[in-house]
Structure 1
Amino acid sequence: MRSGVRLGIDVGRARIGVARTDAGGMLAVPIETVPRAADGDADVRRVLDLAEEYGAFELVVGHPLSMSGASTPSTDDAVAFAERLSSAGASVRLVDERLSTVSAQQALRASGRSTRTQRPVIDQVAAVIILQHALDSERASGNPPGRAIPSHEGPSTL
């Protein structure tokens, strides 16, 4: 198991949930919801700023496939966002995130949050679920989770 901080990213159409690990790479916690930028790269810059702030060596981006494993418009959006992060020099891995939002909604409902009060944190909770799944997978297999997005700028700056 590799140690060090990673960020988990849940890419949505309107918002991006961000979570981080502790320095040992054992536990994921929520940190922020980033608004999607309609134009420009403000969302990418904010995620990269968070990665620098927390000293993350890797970004784990949720890969939202359909239940059958097929690509969807959300899949294409998440991959494009991951590629933008990678093009900026970040080390990025795509990890299967099927049912992460459903799991996040169930967890928030179980904690007593109404659907209306879930909105501000649902993306962060989904990012925690994605990141914790990646950590657990790496711990069990001994291999980095998911698949790496090749960097277009040479070695990672993260």
Structure 2
Amino acid sequence: MKIIGLDVGSKTIGVAVSDPLGLTAQGLTTIKWDEQHIASADEQLKTIIREQSIGKAVIGLPKHMNGTIGERGEASRRYADHVEAVHGIAAVLWDERLSTVAAERVLLEADMSRKKRKKVIDKMAAVMILQSYLDQKP
């Protein structure tokens, strides 16, 4: 069973998928969406779930450094509930603190231009979230 990793922002959703054995995460795409219309990414996500044979979603849960959950975290919780209800797969919320910072660091080390980084940062953050989950599962 493959697992999808999602980095849910207010305007885009970074998407990564695991290999069939659940060992590695690969960046797939970035979906543009409107957070005010929670179903706005459903068609693209439905296609990815079907084509990739996805059985579970890991959704980044942004927490403050002190561990509390703010507005962005609550938005991720709502989206996880939506994914389970609409797409019929289990959704796991995964602590994503510093995943975007780590993704930015990797892209900077690769000497990627600011313009190119902006295009792939969400997808790379989804990879970091999913890979962290895959590394921790028994």
TM-score normalised by the chain length of structure 2: 0.93
Aligned to 1:48: 46
Alignment of 1:24-35 (within 5 A): 24-35=21-32
| CA displacement, residues 117-136 of structure 1 (integer Å, 9 cap, x when unaligned) | 21111000000000000000
Residue 24 of structure 1 aligns with an amino acid whose one-letter code is L
In the other structure, the counterpart of 1:12 is: 9
* Residues 38 and 79 in structure 2, CA contact (< 8 A), matched pair in contact too: no
Cα offset, 1:36, TM superposition: 1.4
Q: C-alpha distance in 1, partners of 2:70/2:120? A: 24
Structure 2 unmatched runs, 5+: none
- Partner SS, residue 71 of structure 1: coil
Aligned pair count? 136
Pair 1:123 & 2:122 matched: yes
Determine what percentage of the aligned residue pairs are the same residue: 31
| Structure with the larger helix share | 2
How far residue 73 of structure 1 moved from its aligned partner, in angstroms, is: 1.2
User: Please, what TM-score do these two structures have when normalized by structure 1?
Assistant: 0.82
Q: Is the contact made by 1:44 and 1:84 (CA closer than 8 Å) also made in structure 2?
A: no
- Range moving further from structure 2, 95-104 or 107-116: 107-116
2 CA distance for matches of 1:116 and 1:33? 15
Partner-residue secondary structure (3-state), 1:105: helix
Distance (whole Å) between structure 1 residues aligned to residue 17 and residue 135 of structure 2:
14
Which stretches of structure 1, 4 residues or longer, exceed 2 Å deviation after superposition? 37-40
